[in-house]
Amino acid sequence: MRRIIGAALGCWLGVMGAAIAEEKDTEPVLVELYTSQGCSSCPPADAILAGLSARDDVIALALHVDYWDYIGWKDHFASPRYSARQRAYARVAGVGTVYTPQMIVAGRDHLIGVRPAQLEDLIRRFRVQPSPVSLDLARTGGKVRVRAEARAPLSHGAFVQLVRYTPSQRVEISHGENAGRTIDYANIVTDWKKVADWDGAQALTLDLAAPGDEAVVVIIQEPGPGPVLAARQLR
């Protein structure tokens, strides 16, 4: 995991995504990358996520964790909330430890963040699976209107999440495992909050405050966190 693979992986995934996006009747797939500026194994995964960020068939989000801050460099994108979310996924999966880089696809499959072929297979598989929830977003001024309807009963219920992110930022790292490197990060999550619980019995309409020009992502997911039932973004 210490070998730097390079930005070509991100370019490869971008080309693959352009071809796949021509297919119809598919759903965007949520890919969460758990990463850290203080992790020397993470830059290749960060490059892969940058490639994914340009695709329409993927919602790619980078969640920076804080548990490597003690090794010489404090990740200023990191939040203990993102570390807690990753640990919650680990508990659901029955895993005792967390690591970086890690990607979680559609809230279900966990993989080491530098396995592009496996990642692409998962994206293809989840893209063509029927979504149990229809989800539409519309932006007006500083608000986003969310409309959702369950296509089948939601046996475990669901919660609605609103996510904001910064599309890109370059960071010069002067200490820690990546000392001396300049790294371009993509789709850096700046806020992730639960805004509603929903049992799916009735159609859902929400008007959510979303000021500013940052992208908006809405994710409907089973508790746990569990499988992602639907996800959409407005850039």
CA nearest neighbour of 198 among 141, 131, 147: 147
d(CA 168, CA 184): 7
Q: How many domains does the chain have?
A: 1
> Percent helix, strand and coil across the chain, each rounded to 5?
25, 40, 40
Residue 25's pLDDT band, with cuts at 50, 70 and 90, is: low
133 occurs within a structural domain: yes
Section 173-185 average pLDDT: 97
Please give the order of strands across the beta sheet that includes 204-209: 133-140, 143-150, 204-209
Section 28-41 average pLDDT: 98
Residue 13, pLDDT score: 47
34 occurs within a structural domain: yes
DSSP of 207-233:
EEE--SSSEEEEEEE-TTT--EEEEEE
Structure tokens at 125: 């598989």
Partners of 144 in the β-ladder: 139, 208
Residue 216, pLDDT score: 97
Q: Are 164 and 200 in contact (CB under 8 A)?
A: no
Residue 198, pLDDT score: 98
Please give the order of strands across the beta sheet that includes 182-198: 109-112, 102-105, 29-35, 58-64, 182-198, 158-172, 215-221, 228-234
3 occurs within a structural domain: no
Residue 153, pLDDT score: 93
Neighbours of 209 (CB within 10 A): 9
Q: What is the pTM of this model?
A: 0.89
43 occurs within a structural domain: yes
1 occurs within a structural domain: no
Helix (H) or strand (E) holding 93, with range, is helix 80-93
Q: Note down the domain range covering 182.
A: 8-234
For residue 23, pLDDT over 60 is answered with no
Taking all residues of the chain, what is their mean pLDDT, rounded to a whole number? 91
2 occurs within a structural domain: no
CATH of the domain at 92: 3.40.30.10
Residue 26, pLDDT score: 74
CA nearest neighbour of 168 among 146, 151, 188: 188
49 occurs within a structural domain: yes
Residue 18's pLDDT band, with cuts at 50, 70 and 90, is: very low
For residue 197, pLDDT over 90 is answered with yes
